[in-house]
A = this chain, B = another copy of it.
């Protein structure tokens, strides 16, 4: 089927986490844990858990028929429970009576999802660490590599590569905290029965829930959340935020890689970024995929938010709308994050080209430096207008800002050559750049 898609906008391990096999494995584990909890609280007879345990990894389930039946049944759990119970019955008819006892389809499906998300979040957190480390190294290595700052895609005063990567780094750290915080709320048991009252378990619901959570190593929520999906949607939003920052990084890189800018290059690699017709090119493949993810994820987050409007005790369609959407967000995030790690670990910067690009604008990007200096004597507005005139003249004459300024009558006696040279030295116009970088690196 769409194996390509899976592979192009996911990672193999995230594909596995959200595979049908893994889902069914966790559904089976839920049923086993429930049997065990029922037995612990003497609802099911001794031996129930042991009888069910051989099926607790879900490998006996026929996945193909599951899907076919799910289409009519409305969800995957209904045919799953049938298969699971049948298997258990053959082994132990008595125990089979307590399979899925007191619970409902959504309990199984949601808890399996939570277990999948736990796996998925641990992959993402690992890669967030990896990215953070790579960005720390980049920031240190390029703390003083000067390039043009750019606003509206126009050159402005200089910054350093390290300042740019420090900005990425600080954002990634915020995302790690957000992802952890969202995960800590979302990774909880779902167990409420048909309408969230655990009514079939009479007065033992809370106790069974407690044991069930322990068996699955999950925290318990205050109450079942069948139609309160804010924790899931929060995870989606946290990933959406993360992918937004990854997109910003990739956009910066792709712009720096343009033929006419050529200040950065994505890491090379066998068969990477070649063009079928233009053999000389190194395409920003990683950046393109990250940016494609950043174009797609926001709308998927919107779907998760829309899907929160769910009816009464169990929803009509909001729940179903989540089924493919949330895994898709995880896959896109994992893919973008993994590509961002490769990018950060292998990106090459070209300091010479950065200098050449700065030189090409003939000092104009330091007009602010001169303007600010002159503001003290001429006033901000007058200084600004004077530099506007000078800049225009430099552009028209294809001369340097330095030459033009030295010739301007208005500046005779106000600004001399050595002062101007100092003002126009890029290194002298980095302001708090190093201080900001040190703050992010925790060196202050």
Known: A197-B149, A302-B298, A305-B241. A20 touches B1 (CB 8 A): yes
- The oligomer's copy count stands at 4
Instruction: For the complex, give the distance between the alpha carbons of A63 and B368 in Å.
Output: 28
Which residue from chain B places its CB closest to the CB of A357 in the assembled complex? B260
Q: Which of B277, B289, B294 contacts A193 (CB 8 A)?
A: B277
Which residue from chain B places its CB closest to the CB of A376 in the assembled complex? B97
Q: Are A72 and B271 in contact (CB under 8 A)?
A: yes
Q: Are B237 and A241 in contact (CB under 8 A)?
A: yes
Interface size, A (range):
35 or more
Q: Which of A171, A258, A260, A285 has the most CB of B within 10 A?
A: A260
Q: Are B289 and A320 in contact (CB under 8 A)?
A: yes
Segment from A51-59, A78-86, A122-130, A409-417 that makes contact with B: A78-86
Q: Are A432 and B201 in contact (CB under 8 A)?
A: yes
Q: Are A223 and B273 in contact (CB under 8 A)?
A: no
A212-232 contact mask (Cβ, 8 Å, vs B): 1 or 0:
000000000011110111110
A95-124 contact mask (Cβ, 8 Å, vs B): 1 or 0:
011111111110000000000000000000
Q: Decide if the interface of chain A is mainly helix, strand, loop or mixed.
A: helix
A224-250 contact mask (Cβ, 8 Å, vs B): 1 or 0:
110111110110011011011101100
**Cβ of A60 < 8 Å from any Cβ of B?**
no
Instruction: For the complex, give the distance between the alpha carbons of A195 and B158 in Å.
Output: 8
A63-94 contact mask (Cβ, 8 Å, vs B): 1 or 0:
11011111111101111011001000100010
**Which chain B residues lie closer than 8 Å to A432 at the CB level?**
197-199, 201, 203, 205-206, 209
Chain A 306-330 residues near chain B, CB threshold 8 A: 306-318, 320-321, 323-325, 327
**Cβ of A41 < 8 Å from any Cβ of B?**
no
**Which chain B residues lie closer than 8 Å to A297 at the CB level?**
305
Known: A97-B376, A163-B196, A280-B367. A252 touches B312 (CB 8 A): yes
Other than the given A78-B274, A230-B241, A251-B311, 13 more pairs (CB < 8 A) read: A1-B3, A2-B2, A6-B67, A93-B379, A151-B194, A158-B199, A167-B227, A197-B432, A199-B433, A234-B241, A237-B238, A247-B308, A288-B320
